[in-house]
Every structure is written in structure tokens, then in C-alpha cells.
Amino acid sequence: MKPSAWLKLLQLTTTSAYALPPPAGAAKTISPLGSTTARSGADNGASFSHLQTFDPPEGALLADQPTIFAGPGELDTQTGIRKEALWLTYHTATIIFVPPATFTQAYGFPKVHSAEIRGRGPSDVGPFDQQHTFDLEGALADISLGPTGEVLVAYSRADGSGAVNRPIVICHDPDGRGTNAGFSPCSLTPFDTGALNFPDISIGYDRSSATNARAYLIYTHRSVGSSDPNLFLRTCDTTSHPACSGATSWSASELVNDDTTTARQSLPWMDVDPASGVVGISWYDTRGDPANLAAEVYAAARAAGASGTFSPNRLVSTLPEASNGDYGDYTGLSFFGGVFFPSWADNSQSSSNLDAYVAPVSVLEGSDGDADGIPDTIDNCATQPNANQYDADLDGYGNRCDADFDQTYLVSIGDFNAFRVCQGSSDPSCAEMDLDGDGTVEEGDDFAIFSALYGKAPGPSGSKCKKLPPRDRSCL
């Protein structure tokens, strides 16, 4: 086994979630009935401009579940520069009324449009081309662009039968907005999706380098007889399998959620950081509610490659959703430069309205010499495992490696005397001497740690808060 310092680990840090204001004049609760509208904003989302409206075809009531992706477009043969492109996918459906009071939805065929991006204003996008309609019915589509403009679309197969274990449909266009023939016939994934009518899915390309030619697929799976849908990831080597079709295209599944409960994971979304190839994932998760209804938003990250290390799952939302099961159809996520932004519909402030929320999540990569899940670059005890990062005196050195109670930068007889005074105590005034962070200064465990630290300086620490002598206690 390789030493832990060789492992590529990921640690997530989050800041508070915040609500996004709706466009001027728009209600907070938005109905999906009717057409799909594309909008553009060039001022960081403060306002949006209308681009184009896509009406459902004759006989269909809904243009539903739209999603967009911007990325590489066709290559300009005169300049040698690759253009940017915007892609939109959605599906159509018809609502069927079955007397006396039952409504069913007949799903249509997912569609895609694309447009060139020439700048950041609304007049610099479009026009959108004629739609391409896929040849298999379905819903819950996602779309992603590869490094040379190729396109992958994934969606859940739906034929109105109500059958479970529905396959996932994969559709591929080798050059996107280029001059070739367009999408090849779609294929069905060969792997089991379990006892779900519609597995929730998301797909993403790694565009970070030519050596990381890979696509990732996230999907939900529920075993027969279980109420616990889990979240899985598979990878596809797009050098060997550019269309990601067939039984040998996709890797074995990797479990994303790390809970050991019967919680429900649903509506995942993912993106791949084009700067690093790290995968960011977020989803709804009911692990905090024994009734399996009130959802919170969790996130995880995965290192790039055929097989990679997952970070621990991290809670992102600040409050659970109200437990009426109304979460909308999608979440969202965008990832660049080590920070990804999950977005979701949130009714925690009102059970009757859904607000749009977003929260930045930073991904820190690096070695972890003490294998405590904290990268050495931020670990306040880089050589002693302390996953809780407990630092009673707030000096940037965790208790586990800091027995320098008198702040002389060397553990000596004065520190020994301070330890003996607090031995056996659980008083908050003795928190610095609680070296293992269990709430009590013990003759056994804590004294053993103190003895190992005697005669040494505190640390080492990767914390930016660490103080060289003379230290203060202002690191918050």
C-alpha cells in the first residue's frame, strides 16, 4: 500500500448558502407548464435578457425540465481558435386526464438546440439552430461538452409503461456544432438502475487536459424492496469509447453518498472543473430526517481519473427543506477554478414557495500525511491525526500537537506544571490541556500525548492562523 502522503485527497469547505433574487416582476413559484425560455445575463446574474422562446410542438402541453451548458464550440478554420457554444436540452410531454381526478404525463422525445457565443451580451448569443429530436422517449436530460466541442446527452428512458429499472439513454455528437452529420443513434446503458421509474442523472466531460479524456455519469439506484435510493458514479474513457455506448464503455459503479442510514439521495447534479479535472457533485439528502422526507443539500468531490478518491460528504444547505416532498425537478451545479456552486430549489423558509439558493463550495487538494482527512496544507496538526481540528487557544496549532501552554514555543517544565494542575478536570479553563479533545484532561491518554510532545515546539501546522513567537491568541 502506498503511504497516505501519496494519496490525492479532497477536503470541502463551504460558506453560507444564500437566496437568489427572482428576475424583476417574476413570482418565486414558477410553473413548468408551457414553453421554455432561454435568458442571458452579462452582469453576474443581476439581470437577464430574453434570448429565445421554445414552444412545445403541436399536441404537446409541456416543454419541460430544460438544462443548458456552455463550452467549446466549432473550430474557426481561419483563425485556428475554437468558438464558444451554448446548448439547451428539454423534453416535451402531454398531460392526460383520466376521470374522475387522475392526471398522467405522456413523455415525448428530448430535444436539443445550440447557438454560438460571440460575447457576453444578449446580442452576442445565437440565433439558436433548428432542434434535433432524439429517437427514444424520455425525461430528466442533462448535457455536457467535451474539449473539442463534442456533445454527450444523457436522459432517463420513458415509454409510458411505468416499468422500473429503466435504462439511461446516452446520445453523442462527435463534433457538436461542426460540419459532420450530428448525433449518432442513441444507445442504452447496460447497467442496472434498480427499482426506480426514472433514475435521476447528470453527465459531465473532463476538459482539463488531453490525458484526462473522460466522461462521468451520476445516477440514482434503489434496490428492489428498499426505500433507500443511493447515488453512484461511473466513468467512460472517451479515447477508447468516444460515444460511451455499449457494455464495455462504462466502469464499475462507485458509491458517492457515505451515510449508513436508509436515507434517500435524489436529484443529483455534477460538473467537472476544467482547470483540474476534479468532479463536483451535489444532491438532496434526507439523512437528517428519520421520516425520510425533509431534505438537505449535500456535496462531495472526486479526484480526476478512472478511479479517484472521494471527499467526505459535506452538508451545504443551512436548513432542511420543509417535509412535503416538493423539491422541483432539478438541482444545478457549476464548477471552475477549485470552487463549485450548487444551486437548488428550497422551501425551508416557506412551505408554499420555492426559493432559489446557491452556496460556494471550495475544493482543496493535497497530501494528508496523518490520514485524518484534512490536507496538510490546512491541517493544524499535520503529523498527528485530529479530524476535528480542535484548537482551544485559537493559535493555529491543534491541541493534539500543542502542549505549549505558556506560549514560549517550547514544551517545558512550566507546561508540565500547568498540565498537572488541570489533570482530571473538565473545566473550560483547562481546555488547552485536553490534548485529545474529549472534554477531560486525563492522566492516561492526555498525559501520554504530553510526554510525547515534551521538549518540542508545537506543530507542525499548515494553518494560516499559526503564530510564530511571540504568539497571540487572536486566530479565529
For residue 408, the enclosing domain spans 379-476
Q: Does 41 have pLDDT greater than 50?
A: no
* Tens digit of each residue's pLDDT (9 = 90 or more) over 263-314: 889 899 999 999 889 999 999 999 988 888 888 899 999 988 888 778 889 8
Higher-scoring residue by pLDDT: 221, 226: 221
Q: What is the CATH number of the domain that holds 54?
A: 2.120.10
The pLDDT > 70 percentage for the chain reads 77
- Quick one: pLDDT at residue 246? 77
How many whole angstroms separate alpha carbon 147 and alpha carbon 280?
18
* Neighbouring C-beta atoms of residue 128, cutoff 10 Å: 18
Residue 38 domain-assigned (yes or no): yes
State whether 207 and 66 are in the same domain: yes
Evaluate whether residue 374 is within a structural domain: no
Pair 168, 307 in one domain: yes
Q: Smallest Cα–Cα separation from 359: which of 35, 13, 5?
A: 13
- Is 371 a domain residue? no
User: Of 336, 366, 396, which residue is a domain's last?
Assistant: 366
Are 348 and 394 part of one and the same domain?
Answer: no
Query: Is 454 part of any domain?
Result: yes
Task: Tell me what the pLDDT averaged over the chain comes to.
Answer: 80
**The pLDDT value given to residue 328:** 66
Domain finish residue from 340, 366, 392:
366
- Residues 359, 386: one domain? no
Give the global pTM.
0.72
Residue range 121-149, pLDDT digits in tens: 778 888 888 778 888 888 888 999 998 88
Residues 391 and 258 in one domain: no
Distance CA 245, CA 264 (A): 29
Going from the C-alpha of 163 to that of each of 166, 167, 195, 197, 224, the distances in angstroms are 7, 10, 9, 6, 13
Whether residues 32 and 74 fall in one domain: yes
If asked whether residues 86 and 221 sit together in one domain, one would say yes
Asked, for residue 372, whether it belongs to a domain, the answer is: no
Output the pLDDT for position 37. 46
Residues 383 and 425 in one domain: yes
Q: What is the tens place of the pLDDT at every residue in 437-461? A: 999 999 899 999 999 999 999 999 8
Give percent above pLDDT 90 in the chain.
31
Of the pLDDT bands very low, low, confident and very high (cuts 50, 70, 90), residue 468 is low
Split into its structural domains, the chain has a count of 2
31 with 177, same domain: the answer is: yes
